[in-house]
Amino acid sequence: MSGCQKAARPLAQCLRSSQALCQSARAIRLFTRSSRLSEEAVTETASFTTTPIYDPEAVTSSKEEKKLMKTGVFPIGSRRRRAAIKTSENILFEQLPYQCFQEARKVLQADREEKLQLIAKERLRISNLIATDPKSINGGRKFKQVRLDSMRRHLEYLKIQADINDPLIKKRFEDGQGDMTKPIYRYLADRKWRDYQRKIIVQRIEQLAVVPDVLPFFEPTAEVRLAFRQKNVQPGEFVDSRISEVSARLKVQVFDKGERLVTVAVVDSDVPIVDKDWFASRCHYLAANIPLSPTETSLPLSKATEGQLIHPWLPAFAQKGSPYHRYTVFVLQQKPGQILDTATLKEKIKRDGFSMRRFVDRNNVTPIGMSIFRSIWDEGTAGVMQRAGIEGADIEFKRKKVVALKPKQKARGWEARHASDKYKSLRR
Amino acid sequence: MAPSHNSIRQMVSPLLQSFRSLSLTSQNVLPSTSRFFTSSSTMSAKSDKKKSVDPRITLIRYHLQHTATPRPLKFSRTRALRHWTIHRAWMLARRKKLEAEELELQRMYQSMHNTMEVLRTMDEKDGLGRGKEAGRLYRVALEKKGIFGQGGVPIEYARLQTDTPGREAWDHSWTR
């Protein structure tokens, strides 16, 4: 601290304190009626004479910021950024005057034009192949179908390649504004999902043995996010029974185009059966013919209509002493045009002893997505069971004691010598 | 019991104090110094083990925080997007160039192959390519006379081929 500052410090402190006093006085006076009235009058006159409307994107001085904050709007970003925005003319991203960037855009645009021509050509080829008689093609109808499939796949590939280098598309996707009806956004979303979320769900399928226990094989192709009310559930999470009392909300994102009907099934695969000393599965929810498309992702299970519903939501409950229960939520895609008859399914399918394998095989549906949560006995389970009218809250499962076949032998050797409590610390 | 005990203590206390101070100092000096080395060394060893940082981490820190290390790239949103655009365009252009080069090589190879095929089946006298003279030009084209220089031999045959290397790998004293 320089000598000058040292000298000035008491003065500065004094000034500061006086300012604070002033402010405090003002704050106190605010509560009185007269001053408030006068302030109101002042604001009214101000609004009549000049109405300074500050842009939250371009406020730079602290005074203006304060005034803006008083109205309840907070300035956006840093002051430096706001100053930069204020001084710059709003140039579109594509027209930014950077030479290398503009040259790059030209290259990308030329490539896009090429790809568009290829797309047109491929479309023409496909239509020509459709028009030709399968008898004139070497290999017949089957070969024609194979060629058509591969050509369509190539067309999809070209469509994605035409747009994948567009920076604006990338930006829009990152902002979550992508239009899922377009193949490029679906492709990007799929890639993002496969990057992390799919790996997690695949790991859970393996760790929690969903694949041999519930289904013989399963490859997830759609993203399923699970939530109860406000609570998002991570795959495999233990969920409190009071939270899972209400039916789940699903968000299912499919990455292939078109509308389809899906069946949703929630299965508990760890129901203990005491008589057989075995575990079975139980259906906690089943609904069919629910429309789903890449843009309609929300799937609240409680909103299923009477015609769609087969079994309404049964709260997840794990009785005391039983190991944790795995509740798998499966989204099964029905074949195009296939509508399941819910009335007969209601009669046929019972909750207890529900087999996912059998359901998939009998009804010819394909599992596309899965989510899983776990449940264990907690303090709320008894209440949940009582409210849902489920009996057995008072039952506690205990392991059957296995009697050893070998008779117990008297301790010998080291064990016998160290049997007293003196060597307690040595014992295992 | 207690009062008598107290009185005795009061009486003895000056003596005791002097003793205590003596004994304390002696205790303080001698055993503690002897204990100092052992206990402190073990203590410090333990704390060192706990506090010691992996030398690799130290090295990484040193190099990352060195003034000669360039700072990490930090781009704004639009600048990052511009960077990405340029990068994609560059990759695209480079791939196109490589593909074009490869195609050109393929074309050249195919053209040579076709030429040789024509030569092989050509017959100057009989147009059908069945006579004795069939493929004469092909054979002439494939003749390797003089490709190692006038009267030269390939380097593989410069030394007599043997099963094992010689006892002396190279005779340095040899002169023509």
pLDDT tens-digit profile of A137-175?
Answer: 888 899 999 999 999 999 999 999 999 999 999 999 999
Contacts of B108 (CB under 8 A, 6+ apart): none
Domain residue extents for chain A: 53-88, 95-165, 214-388
ipTM for the predicted complex comes to: 0.73
3-state secondary structure chain B: CHHHHHHHHHHHHHHHHHHHHHHHHHHHHHHHHHHHHHHHHHHHHHHHHHHCCCHHHHHHHHHHCCCCCCCCCCCCHHHHHHHHHHHHHHHHHHHHHHHHHHHHHHHHHHHHHHHHHHHHHCCCCCCCCCCCCCCHHHHHHHCCCCCCCCCCCCHHHCCCCCCCCCCCCCCCCCCC
Quickly tell me which residue has 């949703």 as its tokens: A264
Please state which architecture CATH assigns to domain A214-388. Alpha-Beta Complex (3.90)
Choose the closest CB to A108 out of B77, B78, B85: B85
CA distance A74 to chain B (A): 22
Amino acid in position B44:
S
**Is it the case that residue A256 has pLDDT exceeding 60?**
yes
Nearest chain A residue (CA) to B77: A171
B82 min Cα distance to partner chain A (Å): 6
Query: What residues in chain A have their Cβ under 8 A from chain B's Cβ atoms?
Result: 93, 96, 98, 100-101, 103-105, 107-108, 111, 165, 167, 170-171
Contact partners, residue A376, CB within 8 Å, separation at least 6: A238, A318, A323, A324, A325
Q: Which tens digits make up the pLDDT trace of A173-232? A: 999 999 999 999 999 999 999 999 999 999 999 999 999 999 999 999 999 999 999 999
Q: What percent of chain A lies above the pLDDT cut of 70? A: 88
Query: Are A348 and A359 within 8 A, CB to CB?
Result: no
Specify the higher pLDDT residue, A274 or B48: A274
DSSP string of A327-350, one letter each residue: EEEEEEEPPTT----HHHHHHH--
User: Are residues B89 and A109 in contact, defined by beta-carbon separation less than 8 angstroms?
Assistant: no
Q: Give percent helix, percent strand, percent coil of chain A, each to the nearest 5.
A: 45, 15, 35
Distance CA B107, CA B105 (A): 5
Going by C-alpha positions, the residue among A130, A181, A119, A190 that lies closest to residue A155 is A119
Do residues A270 and A325 touch, judged by C-beta distance below 8 A? yes
Structure-token pair, residue A306:
């009477």
- What span, in angstroms and rounded, lies between the C-alpha atoms of A347 and A286? 13
Instruction: Write out residues 69-98 of B within 8 Å (CB-CB) of A.
Output: 77-78, 81-82, 84-86, 88-90, 92-93
Residue A319 vs residues A282, A380, B125, B131, B166: alpha-carbon distances, Å: 14, 11, 100, 97, 86
Taking alpha carbons only, the member of A367, A242, A213, A261 closest to residue A315 is: A242
pLDDT at A300 over 90: yes
| B75, B82, B84: best to mutate for the A interface, most A CBs within 10 A | B82
Structure tokens at A18: 């006086």
> Which chain A residues contact residue B81 at CB under 8 A?
93, 167, 170-171
From first to last of its 176 residues, chain B has per-residue pLDDT tens of 444 455 555 555 555 555 554 444 444 444 444 444 444 444 555 555 567 889 999 999 999 999 999 888 889 899 999 999 999 999 999 999 999 999 999 999 999 999 999 888 887 676 665 677 788 888 888 888 888 888 887 777 777 778 888 888 888 998 98
The reply to whether residue A105 touches residue B90, judged by beta carbons under 8 angstroms, is: no
Percent of chain A surpassing pLDDT 90:
71
- Residue in the block written with tokens 């930090």: B74
Distance (Å, rounded) from C-alpha A135 to C-alpha A144? 10
pLDDT digits (tens, 9 = 90+) for A49-107: 456 678 888 888 999 999 999 988 899 889 988 988 888 888 899 999 999 999 999 99
The residue written with tokens 């896009």 in the block is A112
Q: Is the pLDDT higher at A377 or at B71?
A: A377
Cα-based angle B164, B165, B169 (whole degrees, multiple of 5): 170
With beta carbons under 8 A apart, name residues in chain A contacting B89: 103-105, 107-108, 165
Nearest to A316 by CA among A369, A269, A280: A269
**Selected residue with higher pLDDT from A88 and A251:** A251
- Tokens 């047109």 correspond to A120
Three-state SS at A380: coil
Alpha-carbon separation of residue A294 from A186, A225, A266, B53, B60 (angstroms): 8, 14, 22, 51, 46
> What pLDDT was estimated at residue B50?
63
Nearest to A363 by CA among A383, A349, A382: A349
Max mean pLDDT among A33-37, A50-54, A107-111 falls in: A107-111
CB contact under 8 A, A96 and B88: no
Amino acid identity for residue B65 in this structure? Q
User: Which residues on A lie below 8 Å from B93 (Cβ)?
Assistant: 107
Query: Do B89 and A103 count as a contact with CB atoms less than 8 A apart?
Result: yes
Q: In whole angstroms, what is the distance from residue A338 CA to residue A260 CA?
A: 9
Asked whether the predicted pLDDT for residue A40 surpasses 60, the reply is no
The label of the residue with tokens 């092909």 reads B138
C-alpha span between A159 and A136 (Å, rounded) = 30
